[in-house]
Amino acid sequence: MERVPVLKIGDILLVSIQIDMEDQVALQLQEDLADRIVATGCHGVVIDISALDIVDSFVGRTLATIAAISKVLDADTVVVGMRPAVAITLVELGLSLPGIRTALNVELGMELLARERADYDDEEEDADGEDGAETPAVFTS
Amino acid sequence: MSEQGQRIEVVTDQDVVRVRQLVRTLAVAVKLSLVDQTKIVTAASELARNTLVYGGGGWVEATSVDNGRRKGIRIVFADQGPGIADLDLAFTDGYTTGGGLGLGLSGARRLVDEFDIVTAVGEGTTITVTKWCR
């Protein structure tokens, strides 16, 4: 059985699907990605589907499941490079991929993840700061 | 008028990939537009998977057709599985008996121009779809 390679680039795992996957290959990718997220501690996953000339409901569901699993493992997923004809067909099929972030290409997908991570880190710092300021106020009142 | 069809036995996941490849080749040969190629290959993928998962395997036959005015592609999906007891229910978006999304049958019908289904409980299901060039 063929396997889709998962590449680590900094804090991001990059997957570029270059083959017409049988269902088992898609399921294997789901497992491989979960393992690699945990092993590397990466916070982002970019899945490039620009080489896919169709996305059917099985692959669509697999992408949604990967996004959900990644989220639970503290990583965000962006699906990039969908062809226009694939987008038209997916929507007509009834699959609008709710819960999946998309970007037009790998570069924009990586920018999106970097931006979101930066916002997230800022919020964490702000939250810490507020806690620090409020705690004494609660005790003195 | 139609030419000799090409038949693929559908027994494994790999056969579903072969069905997609055959349909893609025919769709390009009859000069379907890119969007229509994508739609018919996607529909074929959904229905071939149904043949495998719900029908317990079967065969798919794809043929290029010509009605004198337009060219197109016709695909037959046949299995001798359990059949479908309630067609209305089976065509409802989101209904599934197999743990899928329940979009295969209803979605595939939206992606083709003609859709015909013959099914009998205990005997199997045969679906014929056609996509015509615009």
In this prediction, residue B27 carries a pLDDT of 97
Phi, psi of A74, rounded to the nearest 5 degrees: 65, 40
What distance lies between CA B9 and its chain's CA centroid? 13
Pick the residue with more confidence: B100 or A49?
A: A49
Delineate the domains of chain A, giving CATH numbers in brackets. 6-140 (3.30.750.24)
Facing A56 at nearest CB: one of B13, B35, B42: B42
- Tens-place pLDDT, residues B72-87: 999 999 999 999 999 9
User: With 70 as the cut, is the pLDDT of residue B1 above it?
Assistant: no
Q: How far apart are CA B26 and CA B14, in angstroms?
A: 19
ipTM over cut 0.95: no
Pick the residue with more confidence: A51 or A128?
A: A51
Q: What is the mean pLDDT of residues A60-87?
A: 96
Q: What is the DSSP letter of B103?
A: -
How is residue B94 written in tokens? 């989101």
Is residue A138 very low, low, confident or very high in pLDDT (cuts 50, 70, 90)?
very low
In this prediction, residue B99 carries a pLDDT of 64
In chain B, which residue's Cα lies nearest the Cα of A19?
B17
How is residue B101 written in tokens? 């999304």
- Per DSSP (E only), the strands in A52-140 are 76-80, 101-103
Least confident of A67-76, B46-55, B98-107, B118-127: B98-107
B45 and A56: CB-CB below 8 Å? yes
CB A20 within 8 A of CB A84: no
Delineate the domains of chain B, giving CATH numbers in brackets. 6-132 (3.30.565.10)
Q: How far apart are CA A40 and CA A42, in angstroms?
A: 5
Residues of A in contact with B21 (CB under 8 A): 20
- Tens-place pLDDT, residues A81-96: 999 999 999 999 988 8
B37 and A58: CB-CB below 8 Å? no
Pairs of CB atoms within 8 A across A/B:
72
